[in-house]
Amino acid sequence: MGTRIASAAVLLPLVVGAAVLGNPWWGLGATGIALLALREQTDLARARGLRPAAPIAYPLAAALALSGFLPGLDLVRPALAGAVVAAYAWQIARPPAERSLADWTATLAFPAGVGILAGYLVLLRGRPDGLAWTMLLLTMVWANDSAAYLAGRTFGRTPFFASISPKKTREGALGGLLAVVAVGLLAPTAGAAVPALLGPLAAVSPMALAALGLAVAVVAPAGDLSQSYLKRQAGAKDSGRLIPGHGGILDRVDSLAFAAPVVWYAALLLAGGAP
């Protein structure tokens, strides 16, 4: 626990500082995290005998993440189209005995997943009111993760998807849900109290943000379970060892990545703006 807290104490100011600075620093950071996450996913895939094509996968992930810098320019489809063609060519060029449909799929699926989700982080911060919504996203995800962890350790009795993540419990999930709904209810008040960071949230209905919190409480654990599924497929406890006490990048950003699109579309619905 002490190591986890120490790591969090170092990382939290860095993440919040990047959010305050905004793009391009936030976007470059999100892209860098996406590439680190892809590396961990690639290592997990290799543990299962897969061989994704790194020269195709890494540029695809970077292009999809950085597409958030230019939301008016469609970079997603050309990046995906180029990667699909290149992945086919890569397999055709391999010796017949080494050609693999599974490798072709992994070459595209992993970078597409991390890149598109990271792109939503960049898009969200790029909004005129993006700092407030980004801070709300971070607070909701961290509140959900922390409350679920503490409630699970204190009250956890009933397994929750035990075949994927044995330590998670329904009591922990409920604790996380209550915490993130509370964040949503209090967000407009916090927006009025701290306008420099959260001002735009003051104009949003508390019930609407509570509903957003409920959605985050569903998708954030889904992100965590998805990465736990990958780790179990590879027979690994953690996705990496980059963050002491936490594991790898994937172990820390899975919930955030899954929640980012939800908060992005909630911001469009509740505060407007061009998609």
Helix pair angle (101-126, 25-47), 10° resolution:
160
Helix ranges (DSSP H) in the chain: 2-21, 25-47, 54-66, 76-93, 101-126, 130-155, 170-193, 195-198, 206-234, 249-271
Render 62-99 in DSSP notation, one character per residue. HHHHHGGG-TTS--HHHHHHHHHHHHHHHHHHS-GGG-
- Can you tell me which residue has the tokens 């509903």? 211
Give the pLDDT score at 163. Answer: 81
- Give the domain range for residue 70: 2-271
Quote the tokens at residue 43: 């290592």
Sign of CA dihedral 44, 50, 53, 56: negative
Give the pLDDT score at 229. Answer: 87
Give the pLDDT score at 247. Answer: 64
Q: What is the 3-state secondary structure (H, E, C) of 184-224?
A: HHHHHHHHHHCHHHHHHHHHCCHHHHHHHHHHHHHHHHHHH
Q: What's the number of domains the chain is made of?
A: 1
Q: What are phi and psi of 169, to 5 degrees?
A: -130, 160
Beta-bridge mates of residue 243: 247
Give the pLDDT score at 7. Answer: 57
How far apart (Å, rounded) are the C-alpha atoms in residues 216 and 193?
24
What is the full per-residue pLDDT of the chain (275 aa) written as tens digits?
Answer: 565 666 567 778 888 999 999 999 999 999 999 999 999 999 989 988 999 999 999 999 999 999 888 767 778 899 999 999 999 999 999 999 999 999 999 999 999 999 999 999 999 999 999 999 999 999 999 999 999 989 998 998 898 888 888 888 999 999 999 999 999 999 999 999 999 999 999 999 999 999 999 999 999 999 989 988 888 887 776 666 665 555 678 877 889 999 999 999 999 999 987 55
Give the pLDDT score at 105. Answer: 96
DSSP-assigned letter for residue 22: -
Give the pLDDT score at 242. Answer: 61
Q: What is the pTM of this model?
A: 0.91
Residues 6+ apart with CB under 8 A from 33: 118, 249, 253
> By C-alpha distance, which of 170, 55, 38, 186 is closest to 111?
38
